[in-house]
Structure 1
Amino acid sequence: MTVLLSNIFGAKPAMRVVRSDESFEQAGKALKSEIARVFGRSLAIREVDSGSDNAAEIELNNLTTPYYDIERFGITFVASPRHADIIVVTGAVTVAMAEAVRKTYDAMPQPGWVIAVGDDACGIGILNDSYAVLGGADKILTVDFKIPGNPPTPCDIMVGLLGFIKGLGV
């Protein structure tokens, strides 16, 4: 009986989380220093789903989980394009979503950048020849950087963001 009560009311042992993805940590540390150098503050990202299968969104969402914790590297996802430095477009741009993507970009303060994440947003996905799809994000916006993959892993996204910021030439 005492064992049962101690299990219910006693302290619970928690497993220690060990990160095994050293390349992600290295990319994150390099990204944090580049963000501080270029922006002097954190980097705000607004994600726009333009008609995807949610694969890239899941990987972007994984970046915000406690395992990856992208905010420790100075990156935040914001709810409004008015607060964003970068708009991340995922999915092939459908006819129905083209206007919403344009309005989201127009609401973003300038200078603002557009990054296409995933094969469909980059214009090389299988959905690009569909009757209801305009194509990649570059069909309606000027895309500054592309991160291909179906879907790209969280580490691929981090390395892509690092390459984008280094390519700004600031």
Structure 2
Amino acid sequence: MFKVLERIFKDKLATEKISLAGSDRYRGPIEGSADGDVLKACAAVCPVKAFAVSGEDYTIDYKKCIFCGRCVEACANKVINESGLQHKHEDALPVLLESGQEVLQDVLKEKLGRSLHVRHLDAGSCNACDFEMGAMSNPVYDLHRYGVHFVASPRHADMLMVTGVVTRNLEQALKMSYDALPEPRLVMACGACAAGGETYGDTYAVVGAADKVVPVDLYVPGCPPRPTAMIMGLLAAADMLKEKMK
């Protein structure tokens, strides 16, 4: 917080340049090798069951992963480590696999010839993703420079942006919102709850991930995702929407 205030007083408020290279603080995918017993110890500490072991191999479900780093700590950084920014995992957000170029303001106009309209639906979140989503509209991230607009009704939207694990109380609302979207339509599951559904476990009040209720086209992992990751997802959605419009 103090660094933000220092920057504001010193440089005034500057809009951040969004790059496909991702954040400098991106910790990277989980990499390494070990015998089965060590890997089982890693899997045992995963709070969302994203770390799965099969024999001497393991897989990470990045839709569920909250990037807490407990698996790395459990293995004492000897056999598994977080690899760093230069490597991108194939299951991560597709647009993040690209690197090095700055996102230009007219990218949506070139892809769609118009703006992208999004309807946000909180299906049962803790509001962390929603706070980060709100930050996209501030002068730092300035989402509107890309031509992305949030609308009040799914009938006016190209895409439904879902946050939170789907609760039973909001399952019907999610279905009705999806049905109200005009064709062609997209759904983005934003955050570990909507993408993976394991954050709150299995209870009588929880349905789970968004794709258990409606078809999901795009996943943005994280707990919560950074505003830049959400913006990358929205811009990637333009490519998918363009393909559906053909």
User: Do Structure 1 and Structure 2 share a fold, with TM-score over 0.5?
Assistant: yes
Aligned pair partner of 2:122 in 40, 49, 56:
49
* Aligned residue runs from structure 1 range 117-156, under 5 A: 117-156=190-229
Secondary structure, in 3 states, of the residue corresponding to 2:222? coil
Q: Aligned-pair distance for 1:20?
A: 5.1
- Give 1:46 shift: 0.4
The alpha-carbon distance between structure 1 residues 168 and 80, as it changes in their structure 2 partners (threshold 3 A), is: closer
Return the letter of the residue paired with 1:160: G
Kindly provide the CA deviation profile for residues 43-100 of structure 1, in whole angstroms up to 9, marking residues without a partner as x. Answer: 0000000001011111111111222221111000111111100100001100010001
Q: CA deviation at 1:147?
A: 0.4
Q: Distance in 1 between matches of 2:228 and 2:133?
A: 10
1:18 is aligned to 2:19: no
Taking only the aligned residue pairs, the percentage that are identical comes to 39
107, 129, 148: which is aligned to 2:180?
107
Q: Does 2:161 align with 1:161?
A: no
Paired letter, 2:182: P
Structure 2: gaps of 5 or more residues:
1-8, 21-100
TM-score by length of 2: 0.57
Residues 128-148 of structure 1, C-alpha deviation per residue, up to 9 Å, x if partnerless?
423211110000100001001
* Equivalent in the alignment of 1:36: 109
RMSD over aligned Cα atoms = 2.4
Which AA in structure 2 matches 1:16? K
CA gap of 1:115–1:128, structure 2 versus 1, over 3 A, is farther
Cα distance, 1:23 vs structure 2: 2.7
Structure 1 regions of 5+ residues with no counterpart?
1-12
In structure 1, C-alpha distance between the alignment counterparts of 2:15 and 2:216, rounded to whole Å: 33
One-letter amino acid matched to 2:175: R
| In 1, Cα distance between equivalents of 2:198 and 2:205 | 14
> Within 2, Cα distance between the matches of 1:15 and 1:127?
41
Report the secondary structure of 2:169's partner residue. Answer: coil
1:79 is aligned to 152
Q: What is the CA-CA distance between 1:104 and the residue it aligns to?
A: 0.9
